Amino acid sequence: MVQIFDQMAETAARLLLRQGTVTGVTDLPGQLRQIDMETSPGSWSPGQKVQVHISGRVLRTFTPSRWTERSVSLLVHTVGSTPASRWAGGLSVGAGVRMLGPRPSLDLSRLAGAPIMVGDETSVGLAAAWSSHGNAPAVASVFECDSPEELGAALGILQLGAADVLVKRDSVDGHLDALTEGVVEAVRRHPDAPLVLTGRSQTISAIRRHLKGANLRPTSFVKTYWDPNRTGLD
């Protein structure tokens, strides 16, 4: 029975989804893999998502990071043997990709002024989209990550400028104090800047709690990108 549903999903995906053809695959430090694709024109804007068809009924969500009339790029954080990591790891030039989108996610068209960007490796695509296609470059950025050296190098290669704060993740969340303090500092320094907050669910909650505790209420655009206890958030 499951097989029949998977076959129906494969057929629907072939018929209904946007087609892309991979034109470049670039491994960046920080376990990021940039996928460049040729595709038909779309009305792309920063903060949107695409849902990539992995197989059967499995979709995974990414942020268009850069685009032109006939191309779009994604930045995928590869994290071991997950469906998205295997998919991204198996791509090469000429491979076909099926995607749903662009679809709305964070509506950054409402963003007044230069933002503070906060997130992790999964947020680098959004930071790149904003840097290339947004109205005003970010005034500050704060990221948690597995390796500050590597993520810093990736941000440099992508020409996103140096992040103000890069905090090394630790397995028992001992790093959250330094991370949340970095965000509180950035908000104090730029009180009028909107906050764009994406990444891991628990980190987002901790940051929001600390901001509230510090009596800071920046205009916020928030979206959970992943959660250790869940799969395939969209």
Ligand X SMILES: Cc1cc2nc3c(=O)[nH]c(=O)nc-3n(C[C@H](O)[C@H](O)[C@H](O)COP(=O)(O)OP(=O)(O)OC[C@H]3O[C@@H](n4cnc5c(N)ncnc54)[C@H](O)[C@@H]3O)c2cc1C
| 204 in Cβ contact with 197 (< 8 Å) | yes
Asked whether position 85 contacts ligand X by CB under 6 A, the answer is yes
Among 13, 28, 72, 84, binds ligand X (CB under 6 A): 84
Q: Pick the stretch among 1-9, 14-22, 75-83, 166-174 that binds ligand X (CB under 6 A).
A: 75-83
Asked whether position 228 contacts ligand X by CB under 6 A, the answer is yes
Asked whether position 77 contacts ligand X by CB under 6 A, the answer is yes
Q: What does the buried/exposed string (b/e) look like for 98-114 if buried means 16 or more CB atoms within 10 Å of the residue's CB?
A: bbbbbeebbebeebeeb
Asked whether position 231 contacts ligand X by CB under 6 A, the answer is yes
Q: Which is nearer to ligand X, 160 or 190 (CB)?
A: 160
**10 Å Cβ neighbour count for 157?**
14
Q: Which is nearer to ligand X, 51 or 180 (CB)?
A: 51
Q: Pick the stretch among 79-87, 150-158, 160-168, 184-192 that binds ligand X (CB under 6 A).
A: 79-87
Among 24, 42, 56, 83, binds ligand X (CB under 6 A): 83
Asked whether position 89 contacts ligand X by CB under 6 A, the answer is no
Beta carbon of residue 18, minimum distance to ligand X (angstroms, whole number) = 16
Asked whether position 51 contacts ligand X by CB under 6 A, the answer is no
Among 21, 71, 82, 132, binds ligand X (CB under 6 A): 82
Beta carbon of residue 105, minimum distance to ligand X (angstroms, whole number) = 4
DSSP letters, the chain, are -HHHHHHHHHHHHHHHSEEEEEEEEEEETTTEEEEEEEE------TT-EEEEEEETTEEEEE-EEEEETTEEEEEEE--SSSHHHHHHHT--TT-EEEEEEEE-SS-GGG--SPPEEEE-GGGHHHHHHHHHHSSS--SEEEEEES-HHHHHHHHHHTT----SEEEE--TTSTTHHHHHHHHHHHHHHSTTS-EEEEEEHHHHHHHHHHHHHTT----EEEEEEE-TT-S---
Among 39, 122, 180, 203, binds ligand X (CB under 6 A): 122
Closest CA relative to residue 81, chosen from 73, 91, 89, 92? 89
Asked whether position 97 contacts ligand X by CB under 6 A, the answer is no
Asked whether position 79 contacts ligand X by CB under 6 A, the answer is yes
Beta carbon of residue 214, minimum distance to ligand X (angstroms, whole number) = 27
Q: Which is nearer to ligand X, 78 or 190 (CB)?
A: 78
Which residues contribute to the site for ligand X (CB under 6 A)?
A: 49, 60-63, 74-77, 79, 82-85, 105, 121-122, 125, 223, 225-228, 231-234
